[in-house]
């Protein structure tokens, strides 16, 4: 069982445009509306792979988000809130350019945030979850360092569950600050930043990290990620868009390049990568094979429209190449 928690889920509206003209009239060639948010997307990919998953999220009983999630076959358990799930709008152009417009989402009360933590703890214990994915931005009303509390809540009494975190900006920086300042803080097993987020975590120039990866040089990515494994994080999976991904553990570092694809929408690609990686690790696959699966999943997602969540049949494993990085 893979459980995900999305503290700030969304309805993802994706509009495919012939061209984007600021201040003008834009013609939409197709439109998609899907239940989204990082953890929701991960749970969706796991479910499409035929594996057991459960997505936890805050939402009202009549929220349109729930209707979309159930229609997509995503197993969802919600914590009731008074606010309405936000809508995030993505504009995609024929050359693959993606513009995202994200709403802030509802504000959670103290009682609602406590109930969400309780739901996480009880579902991890009841299902004996193999992995827990904590992902996405934080809603208003919770502290910036809330992910540290969520990691502690996800840590089951057996201490066996893989715990993965994928967030950004203030929430990510606060988590990194907690890990650096408190050696007793519960650690995630996996951190999944992109290059820019890795820069946020480690105080480096994220743009420069991304540019070096695009040139095929993953060395600086590895150096930055090793500062996180030195704190006790076991696995750092850095997604790098069209350049692929890099995985750094205490035992080694590997890069992976994606198969050739025609990019349609990058929304959900990183989430699909994380889903592929966690599923592979739960199955007992090696770090190298798990990285290969992650990149194949992310590439397949980018070739699909909207928040394209791939199935195993969409993957191009043979043309996803993994190599050691020193």
**For residue 214, what are the domain limits?**
2-7+35-83+109-324
Residues 42, 278: Cα–Cα separation, whole Å: 9
Examine the pLDDT at 42 and tell me if it is beyond 70.
yes
Q: How confident is the model at residue 253 (pLDDT cuts 50, 70, 90)?
A: very high
238 within some domain: yes
Report the percent of the chain where pLDDT is more than 70.
98
25 within some domain: no
Residues 278, 133: Cα–Cα separation, whole Å: 8
Examine the pLDDT at 157 and tell me if it is beyond 60.
no
Q: How confident is the model at residue 130 (pLDDT cuts 50, 70, 90)?
A: very high
13 within some domain: no
- Segment 210-232 shows an average pLDDT of 92
Neighbour count for residue 82 (Cβ, 10 Å): 10
99 within some domain: no
For residue 299, give the CATH number of its domain: 3.40.1190.20
What are the residues whose beta carbons fall under 8 Å from the beta carbon of 314, sequence distance 6 or more? 300, 303, 304
Report the number of distinct structural domains present in the chain.
1
228 within some domain: yes
Which residue bears the tokens 């050696």? 183
Whether residue 314 lies in the annotated active site: no
In 3D space, the residue among 156, 166, 162, 163 whose CA is nearest the CA of residue 127 turns out to be 156
Which position among 62, 271, 314, 316 bears the catalytic label?
271
Length of the chain: 326
pLDDT of 151? 95
98 within some domain: no
Examine the pLDDT at 313 and tell me if it is beyond 60.
yes
Instruction: Report residue 320 as tokens.
Output: 């996803």
- Sign, CA dihedral 171-151-39-8, equals negative
**pTM of the predicted model as reported, rounded to 2 decimal places:** 0.91
195 within some domain: yes
198 within some domain: yes
């Amino acid at each position: 069982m893979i459980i995900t928690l999305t503290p700030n889920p969304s309805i993802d509206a994706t509009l495919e445009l012939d061209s984007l003209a600021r201040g003008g009239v834009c013609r939409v060639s197709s439109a998609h509306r899907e239940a989204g948010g990082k953890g929701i997307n991960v749970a969706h990919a796991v479910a499409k792979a035929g594996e057991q998953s459960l997505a936890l999220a805050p939402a009202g009983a009549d929220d349109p988000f729930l209707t979309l999630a159930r229609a997509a076959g995503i197993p969802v358990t919600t914590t009731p809130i008074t606010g309405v799930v936000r809508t995030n709008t993505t504009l995609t152009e024929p050359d693959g350019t993606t513009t995202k417009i994200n709403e802030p989402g509802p504000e959670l009360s103290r009682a609602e945030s406590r109930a969400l933590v309780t739901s996480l703890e009880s579902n991890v214990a009841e299902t004996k979850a193999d992995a827990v994915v904590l992902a996405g931005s934080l809603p208003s009303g919770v502290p910036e360092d809330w992910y540290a509390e969520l990691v502690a809540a996800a840590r089951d009494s057996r201490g066996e569950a893989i715990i993965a975190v994928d967030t950004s900006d203030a929430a990510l920086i606060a988590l990194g600050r907690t890990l650096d300042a408190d050696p007793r803080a519960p650690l995630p097993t996996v951190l999944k930043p992109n290059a820019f987020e890795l820069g946020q975590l480690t105080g480096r120039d994220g743009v420069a990290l991304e540019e070096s990866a695009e040139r095929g040089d993953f060395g600086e990515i590895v150096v930055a990620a090793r500062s996180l494994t030195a704190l006790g994080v076991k696995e750092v999976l850095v997604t790098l868009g069209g350049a692929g991904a890099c995985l750094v553990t205490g035992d080694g570092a590997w890069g992976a390049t994606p198969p050739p694809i025609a990019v349609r929408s990058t929304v959900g690609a990183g989430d699909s990568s994380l889903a592929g990686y966690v599923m592979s690790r739960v199955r007992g696959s090696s770090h190298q094979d798990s990285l290969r699966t992650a990149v194949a999943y992310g590439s397949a997602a980018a070739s699909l429209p909207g928040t394209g969540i791939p199935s195993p049949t969409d993957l191009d494993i043979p043309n996803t190449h993994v190599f050691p990085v020193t």
